[in-house]
Chains A and B, each alone.
Chain A
């Protein structure tokens, strides 16, 4: 059973994942959730109560932009695109994340 694992992620990681997902092109909320689930082979099942606050936070910080468009089956959907500031943030977060993972590994392997 897929559970919403996002609340157990390290703080800020979801933002990082969403930004990374959007590097591939514009996507709507459901698409992002689906993408994360597929790529992670069902490990990351992001629920709406985590995903949408995260998207709003990204909007507030100016890291993504949103616009309305038509979905694959021609319904109105809101698409997100990563902004220049978002790409910069992604790089920074990514480095920070790698550092953190490395640190955790060091601890675990000691």
Chain B
């Protein structure tokens, strides 16, 4: 291969040039070279053989390609936009995936940093802080190990019910991770003493910039955090946005400082010291020259020792890369979503390639004569293919630039739509840009090679239409898959909106109370809550429902492991539970189907109300009333059964039980919207008990909207992909029809001259391509039906074989195909026989 020899020359060009010089020297030394010309020039000329002709021809190809594209700006723009958007979608998704799953924490030398997990039967978990200290103090294979826990704190600028997340870390956190300080220092060993918490903190760069105006004198200042004074000792470098947990750490405090924010000192102390109190995320930096496996082995031995000493179940130790998603609790549910979305955008890219490919074939056909002329004057087939590929490359280069731009802006925009600050860095890095370029290169080969091969084939062997038909068929098939996916997801969201949840959502308000947390310990909170309940129930008996966590709340409900009397300890039964007042069922409109609602004294009786799902699962045909369940050491007696309602989430009905509200958590008050002045009444009562409290009343339907929002955005994205696919398919189909009409103008002219009806002419034009479209449709349906099962989880009860969606997609495609065929068909019927015959 010439190209290989050329590359070989470039790789060894110094040697080769020296050889050439020596050779010329040898030649001249033979004396009779007088008048044989300029030696340097000879050398230059000889050397240029290797590079110039090629460079020149590449330049020529490029110039020619650009000129050609400029001559057909419509085609160029269409191809550029189609591919650009498709590559942009892929790049956007990759940028997000990169940020959460591939990119390592912004720390020094991340290759030696690992996340450390305890591999339990329930999946990877963190460690108790006591175990963390044991590992840190005994490990020799790690140069440092850090733990991170977090807590919600308040500066005062946060919106209602929102908090700033503070990370609580060991003193050497910044040194171990190799984080630079913008100002000041990290923590000192004496600031980690449990018995003597020091109120110091390090601010994150963003917090310092956004809320303290990048104050250069920040270090040494005292800031009140949740009304507790803290001294700022440092500001972290700009690029450090956190590590172990969410990757969205905004400020850091030494571990013991968590005591200052505690509502229950005993619990918090236990969290800091008790070996049984799990879990904090931990990470470590491997010492120089230590492999991961060595580090893991040592930690496992140490962990086993610790577990034996503290009579804990033994568990293995696992190490992962320091990325956001590695070992994340939601990893198993996030990865399939990514896989699904990657499939979607890849299909769009395929579709775009097929489309541009089809456009190129139409052009190649139009350029048949030009290509023949070029061959006649001596251009080889390979040379012409190269020229056509260069055109593809020019388009692909433009498209990848567009793609990178989209990948830069789009993900952040979508995160805003979902309304969730992801705490991830979405700025595209080299891998994202590389991904876009690689896609463009592959796409270029995919869309430009086939038409180039096809178009340069000697005329005799020119097949009639198979490539175009094949492309058209695949376009239709891919559109079907994307449209159906989108259709099903939209149907799923609609279904979820109209779904009967079994309780009143539309006209109920949730009144939340925001207490100054630092001055409320468990005892005071309980006093406040029970007093509030008492007062509200005496002003409006049955008018309010009081609960620790409202229906469809952001935070999950707690679940309880339990057993039935006579069963062993390890039954694995569990149910979610909630604390409520007697007014709860009335306000939410949930009927009691057996037994009774709560009444006074039920708390002491350990009475519970269960839902039908729990009754059915654990008591089957028996009457559950009067039966009991045992949670821990408590025996709870069932006094009532409520009708099933989707209180915890839309996906499924889980076993639920309710107990009377005890006041251990800040109450939420539910009230019917037609209860005038309910919010004011609650506000008045609350203010009477605690003047500093803040109150907010929000419709319960907002919880439903919040749950549905990511789904809605996903459905929106899927819908957008589907529409994009449809547009591409219409462009592709209309291109094929137009091409057929153009190719057969003469024939149509003759038929018209012989008296063919317009109807017959249209049938003639459509017949060939319609078959490809129908086959594509069928294949698309089969593929979509096969893939739809994967979507089932995201459909909220709509069947993946929902016949309406299938029918609608077929209708949409049929209408689109007609629309695509309309213009070319009309042109076919208007062919003037005389003009047609004069063509060529």
Chain A residues at the B interface, C-beta cutoff of 8 Å: 1-4, 28-30, 33, 47-49, 52-53, 55-57, 59-62, 68, 71, 75-78
Known: A56-B47, A60-B2, A60-B5. Contact between A48 and B26, CB under 8 A?
A: no
Q: Is the CB of A61 within 8 A of B2?
A: yes
Known: A33-B27, A60-B2, A62-B5. Contact between A53 and B42, CB under 8 A?
A: yes
9 pairs, CB–CB < 8 Å, chain A vs chain B: A3-B35, A29-B23, A48-B39, A48-B42, A49-B36, A49-B37, A49-B45, A56-B49, A77-B23
Nearest-neighbour CB distance to chain A for B742, whole angstroms, equals 40
Nearest-neighbour CB distance to chain B for A30, whole angstroms, equals 5
**Residues 38-51 of chain B, each 1 if its beta carbon lies under 8 Å from chain A, else 0:** 11011101111110
Could you tell me the distance between the alpha carbons of A57 and B49 in the complex, rounded to whole angstroms?
Answer: 6
Partner among A3, A30, A56 whose Cβ is within 8 Å of the Cβ of B46: A56
Q: Within 8 Å of chain A (Cβ to Cβ): is B570?
A: no
Can you list the 7 inter-chain pairs with the closest CB atoms, starting with the nearest? A49-B42, A52-B46, A56-B49, A47-B36, A49-B37, A53-B45, A48-B42
Nearest-neighbour CB distance to chain A for B30, whole angstroms, equals 5
Interface residues in B1-56 by Cβ distance below 8 A to A read 2, 5-6, 9, 19-20, 22-24, 26-30, 33, 35-39, 41-43, 45-50
Nearest-neighbour CB distance to chain B for A12, whole angstroms, equals 13
- Chain B residue, CB-CB nearest to A49: B42
- Chain B residue, CB-CB nearest to A46: B36
Known: A48-B24, A48-B33, A60-B5. Contact between A53 and B49, CB under 8 A?
A: yes
Q: Is the CB of A75 within 8 A of B26?
A: yes
Known: A49-B42, A52-B46, A55-B46. Contact between A76 and B26, CB under 8 A?
A: yes
Known: A29-B27, A76-B22. Contact between A60 and B50, CB under 8 A?
A: yes
Q: Is the CB of B22 within 8 A of A48?
A: no
B-chain residues with CB within 8 Å of residue A59 when the two chains form the complex: 5
Q: Is the CB of A62 within 8 A of B37?
A: no
Interface residues in B456-477 by Cβ distance below 8 A to A read none
Known: A60-B50, A76-B22. Contact between A52 and B5, CB under 8 A?
A: no
Could you tell me the distance between the alpha carbons of A53 and B20 in the complex, rounded to whole angstroms?
Answer: 10
Could you tell me the distance between the alpha carbons of A94 and B30 in the complex, rounded to whole angstroms?
Answer: 31
Q: Is the CB of B26 within 8 A of A30?
A: yes
A-chain residues with CB within 8 Å of residue B35 when the two chains form the complex: 1-4
Q: Is the CB of A60 within 8 A of B37?
A: no
B-chain residues with CB within 8 Å of residue A4 when the two chains form the complex: 35-37
- Chain A residue, CB-CB nearest to B47: A56
Q: Is the CB of A48 within 8 A of B27?
A: yes
Could you tell me the distance between the alpha carbons of A78 and B49 in the complex, rounded to whole angstroms?
Answer: 18
Q: Is the CB of B27 within 8 A of A60?
A: no
Nearest-neighbour CB distance to chain A for B11, whole angstroms, equals 14
Per DSSP, chain B at the interface is: helix
Counting chain B residues whose Cβ lies within 8 A of the other chain, the interface size class is 20 to 34
Q: Is the CB of B6 within 8 A of A60?
A: yes
Could you tell me the distance between the alpha carbons of A78 and B839 in the complex, rounded to whole angstroms?
Answer: 62
User: Which of A56, A61, A71, A77: most chain B CB closer than 10 A?
Assistant: A56
Q: Is the CB of B45 within 8 A of A52?
A: yes
Q: Is the CB of B26 within 8 A of A71?
A: yes
Could you tell me the distance between the alpha carbons of A46 and B20 in the complex, rounded to whole angstroms?
Answer: 17
- Chain A residue, CB-CB nearest to B26: A77
- Chain A residue, CB-CB nearest to B1: A62
User: Which of A4, A28, A30, A55: most chain B CB closer than 10 A?
Assistant: A30
B-chain residues with CB within 8 Å of residue A56 when the two chains form the complex: 20, 46-47, 49-50
Q: Is the CB of B26 within 8 A of A29?
A: yes
Could you tell me the distance between the alpha carbons of A75 and B29 in the complex, rounded to whole angstroms?
Answer: 11
B-chain residues with CB within 8 Å of residue A29 when the two chains form the complex: 23, 26-27
Q: Is the CB of B26 within 8 A of A62?
A: no
- Chain A residue, CB-CB nearest to B27: A30
Could you tell me the distance between the alpha carbons of A68 and B15 in the complex, rounded to whole angstroms?
Answer: 13
Could you tell me the distance between the alpha carbons of A49 and B42 in the complex, rounded to whole angstroms?
Answer: 4
Nearest-neighbour CB distance to chain B for A9, whole angstroms, equals 16
Q: Is the CB of B50 within 8 A of A49?
A: no
Could you tell me the distance between the alpha carbons of A28 and B19 in the complex, rounded to whole angstroms?
Answer: 13
Could you tell me the distance between the alpha carbons of A41 and B42 in the complex, rounded to whole angstroms?
Answer: 25
Known: A30-B27, A56-B50. Contact between A49 and B19, CB under 8 A?
A: no
Q: Is the CB of B42 within 8 A of A28?
A: no
- Chain A residue, CB-CB nearest to B4: A62
Nearest-neighbour CB distance to chain A for B20, whole angstroms, equals 7
A-chain residues with CB within 8 Å of residue B27 when the two chains form the complex: 29-30, 33, 48, 52
- Chain B residue, CB-CB nearest to A57: B49
Partner among B6, B23, B29, B38 whose Cβ is within 8 Å of the Cβ of A52: B23
Nearest-neighbour CB distance to chain A for B24, whole angstroms, equals 6
Could you tell me the distance between the alpha carbons of A3 and B45 in the complex, rounded to whole angstroms?
Answer: 19
Q: A4-B36, A47-B37, A52-B45 are in contact. List 16 more A-B contacts (CB 8 A).
A: A1-B35, A29-B23, A30-B26, A47-B36, A48-B39, A49-B41, A52-B24, A52-B27, A52-B46, A53-B42, A53-B45, A57-B49, A60-B2, A60-B6, A61-B2, A62-B5
Could you tell me the distance between the alpha carbons of A52 and B24 in the complex, rounded to whole angstroms?
Answer: 8
